[in-house]
Amino acid sequence: MSAEDMLRAAVARAAVDLGAPADFAAHLERPRDPSFGDWASNAPMALAKVLRRKPLDIAHDLVARLDVAAAGVREAYVAPPGFLNFRMAAGAEAARLGEVIAAGAAYGRTGEGQGAPANVEFVSANPTGPLHVGHGRQAALGDAVAALLEATGWKVTREFYYNDAGVQIANLALSVQARVRELAGQPLEIPEGGYHGEYIRDIARDYVAAHPDDTHGANLEQVRMFAVAALRHEQDLDLQAFGVKFDVYYLESSLYDEGKVDETVAMLQAAGHTFEKDGALWLRTTDYGDDKDRVMRKSDGTYTYFLPDVAYHVTKWRRGFHRAINVQGADHHSTVTRVRAGLQALDMGIPAGYPEYELHQMVTVMRGGEEVKISKRAGSYVTVRDLIDEVGRDAVRYFFLMRKSESPLVFDVELARSQSEENPVYYIQMAHARLCGIFRVGEVDAGTVTGAGVDYALLNSDDERELVKALLGYPALVTTAARSRAPHLVASYLLDTARLVHTWYHKHHVLGEPEPIRAARLTLVRAALVVLRNGLELLGITAPERM
């Protein structure tokens, strides 16, 4: 039992003695201001109502009854308006650094998910163009959310859904065909809703080279397949450059090929939630919270996008993913209610909140102080690879993750480049590299630093105590970030912790100090390295040993 748990239990025990309900759970927190001690509890205020007494009176009674020396508490005192503040004995908290080191790469990981399968779907770009910055944000976010779930005990599958069927792909095929014909000397006629990007011209050229027998693009199906394959390959290269790996690529077309779309329609009809109107087949999504009913099968006999979406999520459920998280742009939020409604209408026992959605706001790209309008159709573009080439993979990852997903993100390309020296990601990496330097310069084998025999009371400066507290708070941070699917909390934590490291590093030396101090500080350094490395790993950012 950790000191924290012992302290919490002791407070609860004393509270029950004073008449609190037997199941009273004491809340402990790290006070923002160190002058309020190392731990604080609001128990007296929480108990004021049920005990019908003043918080301060309760607080004094609690302190009188508390026996917390065993938990490492040096001093327990009352602070208005009714807090209990605890100051820990010297070294009481630092004594746990050995656990951090022993856990190593596993430090911060929990078994909360119990190995249950979880599916994280992200990027899922149509194969109609290269990945742009919006996809970049989603790639960084989805990968980090997946990593957070893995760190908390889920068996994660990273999945990419290719919308390789439907109207957009037809437009793509026609656009490439138009460029092929242009190459053959015919006038350019890109269809309504077609794609104008330069990359379409490249694909057309490659197509003609690969199919000299079809210089006019007469075989539209062949053009389509060629274009989709080419763009999938491009997107793979983008993802590779970004260091994102998927376990499953799921093709929308396979849902049609395998009859899953038809099957879903039949199931919905059998469940009795459909009706026909104006020559179309509708789903009564209003039964499940939608504001209007939705067309499933258009009057021309083809399906709307939402039906394969439902069929696709049925496969997720049947593949054993009873937890599914979809990372999507907020501009798709209208699909949430619809997909869930479709799954509910199947009456197959899928929970109402399935799948979960992590929606992120848009990315605006600034270049030269002006917004770059992103339009696939107009061909105005900033690709993920452009960004990585200019700013570097680590910085791109960090910038995409440093804000909560609900906030819009402005990515000023030139700013990210010009400020690279003051970039927060370098600040964090520098903290890691500096600490590595201590082992390197001192010619100390980090593996020999385990904390054994160390006098932790020597780590008693304010800087050291703050750093120790931050390191010990890492597992709780990971748990919180995973539960709320919020990698930005990790980014923010790392920045704070790196600051503590730099401050400490500046004030305290390790090498050349008397042996007991040197040993204690080396232990602190190694524990800090473990945390920085694990945190950066979660975000998909490297932890360089020297810079």
**Helices 384-391 & 133-151, crossing angle to 10 degrees?**
80
**Which residue lies nearer to RNA by CB, 93 or 181?**
93
The window from 15-23, 152-160, 226-234, 423-431 that contacts RNA (CB under 7 A) reads 423-431
Query: Site for RNA (CB under 7 A): which residue of 421, 443, 445, 515?
Result: 421
Do strands 324-329 and 409-412 pair parallel, antiparallel, or not at all (unpaired)?
unpaired
Q: Are 402 and 488 in contact (CB under 8 A)?
A: yes
Residues with Cβ within 8 Å of residue 99, at least 6 apart in sequence: 107
The window from 104-112, 256-264, 333-341, 366-374 that contacts RNA (CB under 7 A) reads 333-341
**Sign of the CA dihedral with 450 first, then 456, 459, and 464 last:** positive
SS percent in the chain: helix, strand, coil, step 5? 55, 15, 30
**Which residue lies nearer to RNA by CB, 245 or 546?**
546
Query: Site for RNA (CB under 7 A): which residue of 63, 146, 401, 402?
Result: 402
**Helices 393-401 & 133-151, crossing angle to 10 degrees?**
80
Instruction: State the DSSP string of 263-295.
Output: HHHHHHHHHT-EEEETTEEEE-GGGGT-SS-EE
Q: Are 82 and 44 in contact (CB under 8 A)?
A: yes
Binding to RNA (CB under 7 A): which residues in 454-493?
Answer: 476-477, 480, 484, 486, 488-489, 492
What residues are paired with 328 via a beta bridge? Answer: 359
The size of the interface with RNA (CB under 7 A), counted in residues, is 97
Binding to RNA (CB under 7 A): which residues in 268-307?
Answer: 277-280, 291, 295, 298-300, 304-306
**Which residue lies nearer to RNA by CB, 58 or 180?**
58
What binding mask, one character per residue, do residues 64-83 give for RNA by CB under 7 A, x or -? Answer: ---------------x-xxx
**Which residue lies nearer to RNA by CB, 126 or 264?**
126
Distance CA 520, CA 196 (A): 63
Binding to RNA (CB under 7 A): which residues in 226-255?
Answer: 252
Least spacing, CB of residue 215 vs RNA, in Å? 30
Alpha carbon 6 to chain centroid distance?
32
Binding to RNA (CB under 7 A): which residues in 151-180?
Answer: 163, 166-168
**Which residue lies nearer to RNA by CB, 216 or 507?**
507
**Which residue lies nearer to RNA by CB, 81 or 259?**
81
Least spacing, CB of residue 162 vs RNA, in Å? 10
Which pair of structure tokens corresponds to residue 364? 């605006």
Least spacing, CB of residue 421 vs RNA, in Å? 5
Helices (H), 155-250: 167-183, 198-210, 220-242
End-to-end Cα distance, the chain: 40
What binding mask, one character per residue, do residues 185-224 give for RNA by CB under 7 A, x or -? Answer: ----------------------------------------
**Which residue lies nearer to RNA by CB, 181 or 485?**
485
Q: Are 125 and 235 in contact (CB under 8 A)?
A: yes
Sheet holding 280-283, edge to edge: 274-277, 280-283, 294-297
Least spacing, CB of residue 194 vs RNA, in Å? 12
The window from 227-235, 314-322, 354-362, 464-472 that contacts RNA (CB under 7 A) reads 354-362
Please report whether residue 542 would count as binding RNA according to CB under 7 A. no
Binding to RNA (CB under 7 A): which residues in 37-66?
Answer: 37, 40, 42, 45-46, 48-49, 55
**Which residue lies nearer to RNA by CB, 182 or 256?**
256
Whether cis (ω within 30° of 0) applies to the bond prior to 31 is no
